[in-house]
Structure 1
Amino acid sequence: MSKQYKISEKVYSQNLRAEIHRAARSNPDDLELQNLLELLRSDLSEQSLIKLSKNENFIIPSSETENIEVLARINDLKFILGGKDKKSNIKNAVTLYQKLFDETDELHFFTRSIDLVRKAKSLFLPEMSGFEKKILDIFGKLTSSYYRLLLINSSDFLIMEVSKQLLINKSLDFLEKDFNENEYNSARKYIQILNKLGHYDNNALKVQNAISMEKEGDSTASKKEPGVYYPTILQAYTDALRELKSTPGNDDLKDRLNSKIKIEQKEYYNILKNSGINIESKFDIPKMLEELEVVDFNTGFSTLFQIPIIEQKMIDSSFEQKNKTFFGQFFKDYIHITNKGTVSGIADEEKYNNNLTRNYHRMITIGLINEIKSIMDSYEKISRKVVSEFILSANSPFIPKGREHFFVEGIYSGFQNNYISSSHLLIPQIENSLKNIVEMNGRNTVRLADDIQNDNTLGAILKSDNPDKMLNGLCNEDLILELQSFLLDGNSVNFRNRICHGLIEPAEIDFYGIYLWWLTLRMVFHTKELFSIPE
């Protein structure tokens, strides 16, 4: 261990990391302290420890200390990397992690010790019954279903039948308590525990999850006020029905959920109509999906990228084919009134009709995206980790360095059908990304002539006749016009401005949010087709 610094013996976890961090800052040339800090910051998982060991600058710290967390981690890492002392390393690591748990009550030390036991069960046969008794004791003392699930996930292999039945009985009691207290997320963790313990098979797991989701939807529905949008109700019923998709039987439950979904959809449509959104379409979207051969998650995801961005030439030709209205010769302006009675935009007849046509095609696109997403959801519910890996591997120039997390969260929220959260996360990032593309091409987004040199707004960046050029020639023209219309035009949806100023209803955000999510996917994964990116 570092000759310049003696580590405290009875300091662990966050306090130990803070102590070593201070020491490392005071001794920047002490590589031993720097390596120790990295080891203490690593998650207690084989994957994280292996990743740390592959860092070319990392060297395993020496073990000249009495601090049992440091010694446990060093022995853990040495066991994973292999060597002549592999058996003694794993024995030492398990013993030390057990001591750490006894001193700190921090569950991750105990579960890591059991993870190691799983790797070499024959070395720990005498201790197995002691571990089992400890698991029963810990399970009863924990206060969170999340931690109880972590405990069972790590230790199910060493729980005998008698102990398993005791845990099942306790879990059933906890499950009933959660249902009585409307704690449905917690209840679903106990359902997972009961599956892990063998009380529910995989089909029963899905049925019980569906029942809990139905209960959650019913609970929220019982408290709702007329005319108020509650997106979680429809989502709960839809998720429940989706859970049952591959399970045989359960027809009564499926029929009940279908009925509740139709009721909620009808209310949702009424709220949208009251907001001035007409979602009816003459297009046969199911037939379109059949022709596109959308049958599962992969074909759906691929088809999302085939849907074209609305073309301006299609909008222009639509107006040219129409004769001007009789009233157009008398009235110069068409005024757009908000639901508060205020004027949000003024347009001439051509712009008014262009907006109507563009909005019509946008509605068709939204309907198509919704149907595709519904098919995708019925086959796979994508995880945050998969979204993160997918986005990071794309290495999209549309995502500035350091902004990946925002896009991961925004796009993941969309995959979870939470378009309200998705929209609030993605709108500022889209604005920043567009500015970044302008600057990547050697242009300026700052108003340098002003006394206070602020960035230009999104309106200035998307404005086609902006004298400072901005995105002109750097972005697909149809995309610029659609972003300007959808996000900023007071005669159209005005999505960005209304969200930023808190002027849009939740139902509208949910409805239009899937379109923003889709546009973001297009810009992230087709960046070089839509933007000019310098080599």
Structure 2
Amino acid sequence: MVNIYELLNRSIVNKRYSLSPNLFIEADRIELSEEEKSIFDLLKNIVSLGTKIHDDGIEFHPMFVMADGSRTFSIEDISEDDYLILHSLELDKMPLILRALIADILWTNKKEFSAAKIAADAYWKLFMLWYTDEDNVGTIDMIRRAVCISVQTKQTTLYNEIQEWFNEFIDTKAASAEGFFSLRIMELFFKQKNFDVSIILKVLDDLIDGNSDNIAKVEQAYKLKTECLFKLKRKEDAIKNNNLLADYYLEFAEKIFKKDIQGALRAVNFYQKGIMLYRNNGESDKADAAHKRLVEIQKEIPKIMVPFSVELDIKGVIDNLKANMEGLSFEECVIRLTQMFVFEKQEDIKKRVIEEFKDNPISHLFGKSLINAQGQTVLALHPLDIHDPEKDPKLMELHMYQNALEKQKVAGDIWVKNALIIIRDKFVIDKSMMEFLVKDNPIIPDGRERIFQSGLYMFLNGDYYEALHILAPQV
């Protein structure tokens, strides 16, 4: 028979992403005493937790939450008796990666100072174990927690050790490190009280100069530099830096806008960011010039867009329309036409939106942008919350409007349009034929009959633009 610590060290290695409930297997469990089996079960649940680490804290959450509300193990499921078990554990005998997690839970949820010291030390050791020049994925969270806890608990010796590593990193490796690791580390220390941000300005300049094709990286470097300059009370330099970022936005936009439609839409976004920076940082002339160029770019977007068409065989629809209008008078045909308009209830539209969202979740992950004929984005429709589609009532309403618009477009193009064509083929329409629609009509105010009659006449004759401009104001 083995004890729980021997078993854990046999099963768990201190590698990145190696901690998993799958390591806690029944064949190992049966080797333990009855008392330690309960510890084994508790630890198995705890390692199934998901974590979200920020520069200033950590969140523990269930790894999976289902649409029906069911979930995997949550931090709220740890009872007071469970905490007594965790408190009694000899954390220094545990694998480093598990030690950090358990100690952090005791510190974060129970404010056990002794656990905080263990957690910070374990996270720092994990960082040093995992960090390499070539591969930094997964390491940033370790140093984040080490810094955060050491600052919160005033572990000066540990924090100074971490900062010494950071200073050397800035001097020798930060400018050449791949990905966003350097920026994340600098952002972490920027937030620390009394940290001298001047030591990272040169590195930020090097990142900006050496990554001109990586706009996300350059953008974040410029923004962090602005924050540093303001922190150093160098306001004029900060304003100048913001305008340099605006210049960069416009230069990058010009590079990409004619590549494809995605490039064109991104270019519009970068121009808008640049214009806002110019206006907020005293460059109104540059803002005006950039706005004129933005309008030119937007006009080019419809030319770049690649249209796609869908062919539908609507012969059956037309045959059905003809059959339903066969032998009817003009008045009866118009009445039949009005019966094709369906006024849906809002709840029915909402139900359809939610059903379509649940049936096709992938297509709703990224939202959509609605663009007019001038290439201007009329509406950026963000996706609904996948766990709670009705969480944001205003967003749900926008999705309902868009869904209804799409359905009405299909109904209009397929049914109403062809019904109107059939009526025009069957009858020679003049304005007097509209009188039956406006005479004694309770929704038309006295004296407005003739203008309504003219609008309806235009509509039935296919002059939709003119009809809209007469009927809409009247209604």
**Shorter-chain TM-score: what band?**
0.5 to 0.7
Q: Which of 261, 272, 291 lines up with 1:258 in the alignment?
A: 291
- For residues 333-368 of structure 1, give each alpha carbon's deviation from its aligned partner in whole angstroms, at most 9, with x where no partner exists: xxxxx989x8876787x99xx9xxxxxxxxxxxxxx
Question: Could you tell me whether the CA contact under 8 Å between 2:16 and 2:130 is conserved in 1?
Answer: no
**Selected match of 1:79 from 107, 110, 118:** 107
Q: How has the CA–CA distance of structure 1 residues 240 and 117 changed in structure 2, closer, same or farther, with 3 Å as cutoff? A: same
Pairing partner for 2:143 from 110, 113, 117: 110
Counterpart in the other structure of 1:172 = 205
**1:16–1:398: structure 2 CA closer, same or farther, 3 Å change rule?**
same
Query: Partner of 2:218 in structure 1?
Result: 187
Q: Distance in 1 between matches of 2:290 and 2:241?
A: 17
Equivalent residue number for residue 31 of structure 1: 41
Q: How many angstroms apart in 1 are the aligned matches of 2:416 and 2:304?
A: 19
* Aligned equivalent of 2:407: 483
For structure 2, the 5+ residue unaligned runs are 30-36, 63-73, 132-138, 323-333, 335-349, 390-399, 418-475
Distance 2:161 2:299 in 1: 58
The alpha-carbon deviation at position 109 of structure 1 amounts to: 0.6
Match of 2:229 among 183, 190, 198: 198
- Mapped to 2, the partners of 1:216 and 1:135 lie a distance apart of 32
* Residues 174 and 190, structure 1, Cα contact 8 Å, conserved in 2: yes
What is residue 398 of structure 1 aligned with on the other side?
354
Residue 409 of structure 2 aligns to which amino acid in structure 1? S
| Contact 1:206–1:243 under 8 Å retained in 2 | yes
Work out the CA distance in 2 between the residues paired with 1:478 and 1:234: 23
2:285 is paired with a residue of what secondary structure?
helix
CA deviation after TM superposition for structure 1 residue 97, in Å:
1.2
TM-score by length of 1: 0.49
| CA distance in 2 between partners of 1:401 and 1:477 (Å) | 15
- Cα gap change, 1:147 to 1:344, in 2 (>3 Å): farther
CA positional deviation for 1:248: 4.2
How far residue 184 of structure 1 moved from its aligned partner, in angstroms, is 1.3
Gap change, CA 1:271 and 1:42, over 3 Å in 2:
closer
Supply the distance in 2 between the matched residues of 1:271 and 1:491 (Cα, whole angstroms).
Answer: 31
How many angstroms apart in 2 are the aligned matches of 1:116 and 1:395? Answer: 47
Q: Which moved more, 1:211-220 or 1:229-238?
A: 229-238
Q: 1:263 Cα deviation (Å)?
A: 1.2
Are the structure 2 counterparts of residues 229 and 32 from structure 1 closer, same or farther at C-alpha, using a change threshold of 3 Å? Answer: closer
Q: 1:124/1:22 Cα in 2 relative to 1: closer, same or farther (>3 Å)?
A: closer
- 2:47 aligned counterpart, secondary structure: helix
2:189 paired residue number: 155
CA gap 1:131/1:9 in 2 versus in 1, 3 angstroms: farther
User: 1:343/1:220 Cα in 2 relative to 1: closer, same or farther (>3 Å)?
Assistant: same
Offset, 1:31: 1.8
The equivalent residue for 2:18 is 16
Q: d(CA) in 1 for partners of 2:405 and 2:268?
A: 33
Instruction: State which of 173, 184, 197 in structure 2 corresponds to 1:141.
Output: 173
Contact in 2 for aligned 1:72/1:96 (Cα 8 Å): yes
- Alignment-mate amino acid for residue 88 of structure 1: S
**Contact in 2 for aligned 1:9/1:68 (Cα 8 Å):** no
8 A contact 1:146–1:189 mirrored in 2? no
Offset of 1:7 from its aligned partner?
3.1
The answer to whether the 8 Å contact 1:241/1:258 transfers is: yes
- Alignment partners' CA distance in 2, 1:108 and 1:160: 22
Match of 1:470 in 2: none
Cα distance in 2 between the residues matched to 1:406 and 1:249 = 43
Quick one: which of 33, 42, 56 aligns to 2:51? 42
TM-score by length of 2: 0.54
Cα gap change, 1:3 to 1:137, in 2 (>3 Å): closer
Matched, 1:409 2:440: no
The one-letter code matched in structure 1 to 2:60 is L
Structure 1 pair 49–425 and aligned structure 2 pair: CA distance change class (3 A): closer
Q: What is the deviation of 1:418? A: 12
- 2:370 and 2:100 map into 1 onto residues whose CA distance is 40
Whose radius of gyration is greater, 1 or 2? 2
Structure-2 change in CA distance of 1:403 and 1:141 (3 Å): farther
Q: Which amino acid aligns with 1:215?
A: E
2: CA distance between counterparts of 1:176 and 1:131?
28
CA distance in 1, matches of 2:376, 2:79: 42
8 Å contact 2:211–2:218 — kept in the other structure?
A: yes
2:155 maps to which residue?
124
Root mean square deviation, CA, Å: 5.1
Letter in 1 for 2:122: L
Matches within 5 A, 1:34-433: 34-39=44-49, 41-44=50-53, 46-49=57-60, 52-55=74-77, 59-60=82-83, 61=86, 62-63=89-90, 65-83=93-111, 86-105=112-131, 106-120=139-153, 123-139=154-170, 140-141=172-173, 143-144=177-178, 146-158=180-192, 164-179=197-212, 182-198=213-229, 206-221=242-257, 224=259, 230-245=264-279, 247-269=280-302, 398=354, 406=362, 409-411=365-367, 414=369
Contact 2:151 2:159 in 1 (8 A): no
AA aligned to 1:22 is: L
Query: SS of the counterpart of 2:59?
Result: helix
